[in-house]
Amino acid sequence: MSVSDGFPDANAPVIDFDRFKPSRSFVAARKRKDLLMRVLISLAFVVALIPLISVLWTTIARGVTRLNLNFLSYNMAGVIGGRPTPSGGYGGIEHAIIGTVEITLGAMVISVPIGLMCAVYIVEYSNNGRLAKAISLMVDVMSGIPSIVAGLFAFSLFSIIFGPGAIFGFEGSVALALLMIPTVVKSSEEMLKVVPHDLREASYALGVTKQRTISKIVLRTALPGIVSGVILAIARVIGETAPLLMTAGFIASTNVNLFNGQMTTLPVYVYQEYSKMSVTCPASAGSGCITNIPMERAWSAALVLIILVLVLNLIGRLVARVFAVKTER
């Protein structure tokens, strides 16, 4: 009989598959290596969690002491040393919260459109040309620029336009935008590259223009990743202190005008309070005076900053989930 008849050839050699079977010692060695890697990965995970948990625990334990409605709804106007104010509190961070939100939103308005359009050009239009390579190189260089250099640039730019000593909130937004743009560009670029080319080709085959394909299909598909990149960029700049000290300044009262007057942010507030360390309470101040109130305010403001970052992350995830492309199962 032959194989062509549909039956195996009786004279054909029989393959001994048992010889390919791994030995017990080999299997045991693989199990030991697998166990070792599991232990190492678990230890690395625990080691990475230790500083995170330590920072969160310390901030919460020390920050919750002064964190109350009075602290959130009043500024530092009229606060003298460690004495209580007429409202019953010891000063607050209302002006710092407003300044942080407005300056960060201003930076987003500047950096997100610029960074997103830059990423779209690199991925969709450039065809890996010289200009795209030059842009990518400049973005890489910008990502390594120290934050104080960005603040110095923004301060110099607005001093040239508005005169020496020009300091206001929008100037801080420009400084933060310079730090956000590289992160937005890189994250958006990677997310756009992940979008399958089949979606683009299917859209072009239906006669859809390239601009509409990018805006309705490519960007819509990559939206969750782009939002995550924007959140990462916000987390990168929301805790900056040095550039905002040079551009937005520091005041004790509340200023809601981003384009006029100095504004205080939470990182700058924490820095200023930490710089004081403690205050002197005279004998006539009474028992209501607290000598270490600056440190208590600094820890509480740091806790509020962490909560603000958490809220922004939750909002970003919600936006990404609402506008993400729905897939049928």
Element (H, E) at 99: helix 94-120
CA neighbor of 62 nearest in space, from 303, 291, 290, 272: 303
Averaged pLDDT of the chain: 86
- Region of residue 271 (phi > 0: left; psi between -120 and 50: alpha; otherwise: beta): alpha
Element (H, E) at 268: helix 266-276
Instruction: Give the model's pLDDT for residue 118.
Output: 93
- Region of residue 127 (phi > 0: left; psi between -120 and 50: alpha; otherwise: beta): left
| Cα 145 from Cα 41, distance rounded (Å) | 33
User: CA-CA distances (angstroms) from residue 84 to 246, 254, 280, 289?
Assistant: 30, 19, 13, 7
CB 254 within 8 A of CB 98: yes
* pLDDT digits 0-9 by tens, 29-64: 888 999 999 999 999 999 999 998 999 999 999 999
Instruction: Give the model's pLDDT for residue 328.
Output: 54
Instruction: For residue 7, give the amino acid letter.
Output: F
Instruction: Give the model's pLDDT for residue 7.
Output: 58
Classified by CATH at the fold level, domain 69-323 comes out as: MetI-like fold (1.10.3720)
Instruction: Give the model's pLDDT for residue 1.
Output: 47
Where b means 16+ CB within 10 Å and e means fewer, 219-249 reads: bebbbbbbbbbbbbbbebbbbbbbbbbbbbb
| Cα 113 from Cα 141, distance rounded (Å) | 20
CB 101 within 8 A of CB 119: no
* pLDDT digits 0-9 by tens, 115-143: 999 999 999 888 888 888 888 889 888 88
Q: Helix or strand or coil: residue 222?
A: helix
pLDDT band at 327 (very low <50, low <70, confident <90, very high): low
